[in-house]
Amino acid sequence: MFGKEKPGRVCCLGRVGTPTLLKRNKEILEIEKRHADEVKKLNDRIQEIEEKCSRKMVVVEEKHCQEMAAMDQKFQLLLKVVLHQKTLNLMWQLWQLCYQLQLMLIVICVLLHQPMLQIMMK
């Protein structure tokens, strides 16, 4: 075990320790270290992306809420306009009916040869 170094063996490691085995173990440790660093970088990157996405989601949700509020206001305005238009339409129809009644009253007065005021007073 102790003594002169023999080819293929490392002194003080017995029959198991070979230079190739030691080099391989060293390479494995380096690869594991690089792998751990790479995994850490990727996890950090994932964390950054998740934070960025959550910030964007907040902005998108706020924008969506604002758009919904604006659409609701527009809908309320449209509803008021439609109701107002229906009211105006009903008022127009009522006016037309009144006008037609006046015309009919005039025709009746003419047919009866009486002044219109006398018929209205009755």
Instruction: Give pLDDT tens digits along the chain (122 positions).
Output: 455 555 655 555 556 555 566 667 788 889 999 999 999 999 999 999 999 999 999 999 999 889 999 998 988 888 888 788 888 888 888 888 888 888 777 777 777 766 655 555 55
Cα separation of 54 and 56, whole Å?
5
Report the pLDDT value the prediction gives residue 66, as an integer from 0 to 100. 92
C-alpha distance across the termini of the chain, in Å: 143
Q: How many CB atoms lie within 10 A of CB 46?
A: 10
Find out whether 5 and 11 touch, Cβ atoms under 8 Å.
Answer: yes
Helix runs in the chain, H state only: 19-112, 116-121
Domain ranges for the chain: 19-121
What's the predicted TM-score (pTM) here? 0.45
CA-to-CA distance for 61 and 52, rounded, in angstroms?
Answer: 14
pLDDT at site 100: 82
